[in-house]
Structure 1
Amino acid sequence: MITMDNIIRDGNPTLRARAKAIEFPLSEEDKKLAHNMMEFLENSQNPEIAKKYHLRAGVGLAAPQVDVSKRMTAVLVPGIEDDDEPIFKHVLINPTILSESVQLAALGEGEGCLSVDRDIPGYVPRHDRIKLRWYDLDGNKHVERLRDYPAIVVQHEIDHLNGILFYDHINKEQPLTVPEGTIILE
């Protein structure tokens, strides 16, 4: 089981390295990692389990965050209501953004990261809509269009695979400004 102790923090060189593509068929080690990363997200979103194991809630976890420099990330965007099906729940192997909207969006409360222990205020402008290609654990190719919050989460996770952290996108001089026309998602 992955806990906060297994998640590396800002400053570790793995977080700034470009992760390597994964070959199919997946090794047992890669399958186990995929399962453990999704299990962490499920546990972190369950208030009782999160409290018991001192987990910070997360909607995404990339392999580099557990010190494995491979192009794999788990994403679990919960439904609106507690009993709703998740909006997006997948382990993404070798994900690629095929296209992105000109329209930008940013989260009103800013972004956070399980690997960054401090609050870093500022808007993180990202593309509001993306067309995403990824492979599942069996090597099947998927192409899906995402918008708004799920698109932002996936872009955050793909950044991890490229050695980029969310605060790299924040305007250093004016952190609470965004390019004209950016949608602020509350």
Structure 2
Amino acid sequence: MILMQHIVREGHPALREKSEEVPFPLSQVDQELSENLIEYVKNSQDPELSIQYGLRPGIGLAAPQVNRLKRIFALHIIDEDKDPISFVAINPRIVSHSVEKTYLSSGEGCLSVDREIDGYVPRYARITVKAYDAKGKEFKKRLKGLAAIAFQHELDHLNGVMFFDHIDHEMPFKEISNAVAFEHN
């Protein structure tokens, strides 16, 4: 089980490295990593478990955040229609995206960053993605809103990019052209 002490923090070199493609069939180690990533995000959103194990709530977790340079991440989100979007993405990629941008009006956060960082992080408003599940089956999804933002945040981790790299540090709340703010509770 992944706990907060297993999550590397800002400044750790794994967060700035490009992760490696994962071969199939998955090794036992990569299978367990996939299961542990999705287990963390689900458990962290359960009020009892997050208190019991001291888990900071998160909607996504990428392998580099637990010091494993593999192209794997997990997302677990309840979208604006109250539908769960929950999956492990292996070797994920964006195959198309909207021209329109979005950003979280409250700013983004990260389990690997222990400080508040103010500013808007521009993201594509809608994306079509492809990835593989733990059985090696390719899937395709169209994501919008928080799920699209979170997918892009986690994909950045696989490329050694942190969310705050996208913030305009001179004017962190500068209006983003062709963007609509996304409000998240």
What are the equivalent positions in structure 2 for 1:80-99 lying under 5 Å apart? 84-86=82-84, 88-99=85-96
Any idea what SS the aligned residue of 1:40 has? helix
2:177 and 2:166 map into 1 onto residues whose CA distance is 15
- How many residues get paired? 183
Any idea what SS the aligned residue of 1:102 has? coil
Q: Aligned pair 1:161/2:161, yes or no? A: no
- Aligned partner of 2:135 in structure 1 is 138
Note if contact 2:89-2:131 (Cα within 8 Å) is conserved in structure 1. yes
Note if contact 1:61-1:73 (Cα within 8 Å) is conserved in structure 2. yes
Note if contact 2:79-2:147 (Cα within 8 Å) is conserved in structure 1. no
Note if contact 1:17-1:163 (Cα within 8 Å) is conserved in structure 2. yes
- Higher mean alpha-carbon deviation, 54-63 vs 174-183, is at 174-183
What are the equivalent positions in structure 2 for 1:16-27 lying under 5 Å apart? 16-27=16-27
Give the superposition deviation at 1:119. Answer: 0.3
What's the % identity of the aligned pairs?
46
Q: Aligned pair 1:125/2:122, yes or no? A: yes
Deviant stretches of 4+, over 4 Å: none
- Aligned partner of 2:40 in structure 1 is 40
1:180 is aligned, of 158, 177, 180, to: 177
Give the superposition deviation at 1:24. Answer: 0.2
Note if contact 1:123-1:175 (Cα within 8 Å) is conserved in structure 2. yes
Please tell me the root mean square deviation across aligned C-alpha atoms, in Å.
1.1
- Aligned partner of 1:71 in structure 2 is 71
- Aligned partner of 1:111 in structure 2 is 108
Any idea what SS the aligned residue of 1:76 has? strand
Any idea what SS the aligned residue of 1:5 has? helix
What are structure 1's unaligned runs of at least 5 residues? none
Which residue identity does 2:43 align to in structure 1? N
Note if contact 1:125-1:178 (Cα within 8 Å) is conserved in structure 2. no
Note if contact 1:7-1:67 (Cα within 8 Å) is conserved in structure 2. yes
TM-score, normalised to structure 1, is 0.95
Which residue identity does 1:129 align to in structure 2? R
Give the superposition deviation at 1:144. Answer: 1.2
1:161 and 1:130 map into 2 onto residues whose CA distance is 17
Give the superposition deviation at 1:6. Answer: 0.2
Which residue identity does 2:181 align to in structure 1? I
1:164 and 1:30 map into 2 onto residues whose CA distance is 22
1:132 and 1:180 map into 2 onto residues whose CA distance is 24
Any idea what SS the aligned residue of 1:153 has? helix
2:162 and 2:79 map into 1 onto residues whose CA distance is 26
> Per-residue CA shift, 1:12-71, capped at 9, x if unaligned?
110000000000000011111111111111110001110111111000000000000000
What are structure 2's unaligned runs of at least 5 residues? none
Give the superposition deviation at 1:79. Answer: 4.6
